[in-house]
Amino acid sequence: MTGGAQRTAAAVHDLSGFGKCSLTVVLPVLSAAGVACSAVPTAVLSSHTGGLPGVYHEDFTRGVRAFARQWGELSLSFDAIYTGYMSSPGQIEACSELVRAVRRPGTLFLADPALGDGGRLYSGITPQTADAMLAFCREADLILPNLTEALLFLGEPPHAGLPSPDIAAALLPRLCALGPKRAVLTGVALSPDSIGAACYDRETGELGFAYAPRADGHFHGTGDLFGAALLAALLRDFPLREAMQAAVDFVSRSIFRTKRLGTDPRFGVDFEEELPGFQRALGLL
């Protein structure tokens, strides 16, 4: 993107007061990329739910519908809509109302299913919610499932593990046949020491891969970090594979920084000091 109006995005995610994930990751990453980001909280939590006990949770479905009504009345529109975790079929329908209210020709609709991982649905996600999310994602331009979510969408039993490049190449066209023009499968392993993502474009038939060094351990919020960085690069006019590589590199550097500093991985990754490097990768510095 060179010159012209500032790019805009609407981020439809939950808001965790503590623990770097969802909106508290998406907003700073998109802002660092020069994208004006408007936030739609689907829920408010005292912290994320990954290994942190005593979480307070306030559902915001009614609020999402109110946002949709007002934003529709204001005739707001965005260059991109980025959606994440939703807790029920009713909330998914509310988010659909919001998407319909602000989506215009040319709007990039990016949906992260956020249903489960490691072969299991997340706590509180029912099969009915998974079915509603599939219907929601059929309308997206680009989806970002992991292996568990991809298999669920394709009607296959989900299982733990990381997909190989061959498995990714087999799954991605089938995912795009469900409706989205493009799909990115996360958590693709090239070797024991490298991990990344794979992408497929239904219109061109192009398949692409991106990899970076892999760190041992589980780090919360990295899917949201990857999605935000991917969207940021796409809104800077990067082709999908190059945008995916920029996002994979950014997430990898953030994870290794977190390990060097000894930060509790439950708290999220230390991505903030890696933002200047990400900005350089986008050509902003």
CATH superfamily, domain 8-270, is Ribokinase (3.40.1190.20)
Buried b (16+ CB within 10 A) or exposed e, 18-53: ebbbbbbbbbbbbebbebebbbbbbbbbebbbbebe
The predicted structure's pLDDT at residue 190: 92
How distant, in Å, are the alpha carbons of 116, 150, 160, 231 from that of 119? 7, 10, 4, 26
199 in Cβ contact with 208 (< 8 Å): yes
Q: pLDDT, tens digit, for every residue of 70-120?
A: 999 999 999 999 999 999 999 999 999 999 999 999 999 999 999 999 999
What is the model's pLDDT at position 1?
Answer: 43
Whole-structure pTM value: 0.96
Q: Which residues pair with 23 in a beta bridge?
A: none
pLDDT at residue 49, rounded to an integer: 86
* Rounded Cα distance, 244 and 262, in Å: 27
pLDDT score for 254:
98
Q: Is a pLDDT exceeding 90 seen at residue 225?
A: yes
